[in-house]
Chain A
Amino acid sequence: MATIVDTKALLETVVYSLAAGVGVTLIFSIAIYGMARFAELGREGRTPTALAFGSLAVLAIVAFCAVITLGIIVMTTK
């Protein structure tokens, strides 16, 4: 069976799909969490903590954009 099925390619497809499918949602969830906490703490006047969560949100958004861009680059360069 292993000679008929390209096991390596199939396994890589499964791993990349799971990593990307779950990873993208996780990163975007962290971005939303950071934004929500930033807004909430900002309203309460806790500026330093709010800024920390704001930075977390920005980092997560940058990571989200990077993953999407990387995915497109990998697709177009094969």
Chain B
Amino acid sequence: MNETDLILGIVVATALAFDFTNGFHDTANVVATSISTRAMAPRVAVAFAAVLNFVGAFISLEVAATVASDVVEAGAITPTVVFAGLIGAISWNLITWYFGLPSSSSHALIGGVVGSSFAAVGADAVLGEGILGKVLIPAIVAPVVAFIAGGLAIVICYRVVGAQRPGPVTRGFRLGQIVSGGMLALAHGTNDAQKTMGVITLALIANGNLADGSTPPDWVVVAAASAIALGTYSGGWRIIKTMGTRIIKMDAAQGFSAQGAGAAVILASSHFGFPLSTTQVISGGVMGAGAGKRVSAVRWGVAGDIVTAWLLTLPASAAIGAAVYGFCSIFGDGAAGPLIVSIVGLALAILAFARRLRTAAAVPAV
């Protein structure tokens, strides 16, 4: 194995680790509604979400194509640049997780790659139009659409079934949540796993293994699907222990409406290749379904947190990505820089996990 292959190996392993943490973090978003309305038992919901996350990763490659070709100039960067971007994203995710701030893994990933590309090649490597048109504007529009869809759906739903006895209505919507929850997990797997596929593809293009504009090879799709599904499954067990502390209480009809709205927005966006923050879209659907019943039932502070995350995540992860690239470049073009960063990063991550587990019992389920 030569040195460039070693760097590529580190990049692929780092990308899959990112994908795993993405699934781990987002389990709560995908299963919380089904569990809180008692549509599904927690263990069943988590296993169901993991399986559908895996399946979802196979149904589209449009988002992967956007990440691989519309964010940075694939031909102008190296695997080390992609590695630095991934470290930027993982670091920002860990920092926000440690301090309990809401963050978007998707925005962190794109910010990290943009920052490291800018540091390595300059402004020419950053495709500003692609970032604005494919990432930033859809990032603002999608949660708003999910909020409106969730709100409209629950208003219409109450008009149709409002006069009926609550028992059969609740049982019916709990049954429906098996489908809407499944669609949400499928949508989550589709959009989020593809971001990792896109980044690995970018590294393969940068290393000369694939031609510019190539789609992800099959092994990349399978690896990314497996990593996010395993992350979802692993994350679930910890979330189950903290259920009932942070999750919004809602009835089965609201749960169905929120999940339906979230799944519709994520699937439609994936179809057109828009890489979204699935967390923000699902939050938008949940808040819409809450506001449709009673405006004061919504924790509007969450909306403020989302805006803060929008403002902070991209520049912060970009700055870390740029700094990591700068550090790696001190050691030249070889594998030494990425290896040192990987070892130090892993040690810091373990330390952060250990400290966090000692000081707090619960993982925030945003």
A16 engages B264 (CB within 8 Å): yes
CB pair B146 A10 closer than 8 Å: no
Q: Is the CB of B132 within 8 A of A72?
A: no
How far in angstroms is the closest Cβ of chain B from A50?
14
Using CB atoms and an 8 Å cutoff, list the residues of chain A in contact with chain B: 4-6, 9-10, 12-14, 16-18, 20-22, 24-26, 28-33, 35-37, 39-40, 64, 68, 71-72, 74-76, 78
Contact partner, A21, options B173, B186, B260, B273, Cβ 8 Å: B260
CB within 8 Å of A: which B130-174 residues: 132-134, 137-138, 141-142, 145-146, 148-150, 152-154, 156-157, 160-161, 164-165, 168-169, 172-173
A4-B260 in contact given A12-B272, A13-B138 (Cβ < 8 Å): no
Residues of chain A within 8 A (CB-CB) of B263 are: 21
How many residues on the B side are at the interface (Cβ–Cβ under 8 A)?
A: 52
Interchain CA distance A64-B142 in the complex, whole Å: 24
Tell me, rounded to whole Å, the shortest Cβ–Cβ distance linking A76 to chain B.
Answer: 5
Given known contacts A14-B145, A30-B160, is B153 in contact with A22 (CB within 8 Å)?
Answer: yes
In the complex, which of the residues B59, B62, B172 contacts A72, with contact meaning CB atoms closer than 8 Å?
B59
Most buried by A among B160, B169, B180: B160
In the complex, the answer to whether A36 meets B164 with C-beta atoms within 8 Å is yes
Bound complex: CA A27 to CA B146 (Å):
18
Whether the Cβ atoms of B60 and A16 lie closer than 8 Å is no
A-B contact count (CB 8 A): 138
Other A-B contacts than A17-B269, A21-B152, 9 sampled, CB-CB below 8 A, are A9-B272, A13-B268, A17-B145, A18-B145, A21-B149, A21-B150, A21-B261, A36-B161, A75-B270
Looking at the complex, which one of A29, A64, A68, A74 makes contact with B157 (CB distance below 8 Å)?
Answer: A29
Asked if B5 is at the interface of the complex by the 8 Å CB criterion, the answer is: no
**Chain A nearest Cβ from B293, distance in angstroms:** 13
Tell me, in angstroms, the Cα distance from A73 to B263 when the chains sit together.
15
Q: Mark B26-66, 1 if CB is under 8 A from A, else 0.
A: 00000000000000000000000000000000011010000
Q: What are 16 of the A-B contact pairs (CB < 8 Å)? A: A6-B272, A9-B272, A9-B273, A13-B145, A13-B268, A21-B149, A22-B156, A26-B156, A28-B172, A31-B172, A32-B176, A36-B169, A64-B179, A68-B183, A71-B183, A72-B186
B residues 258-286 with Cβ under 8 Å of A? 260-261, 263-265, 267-274, 285
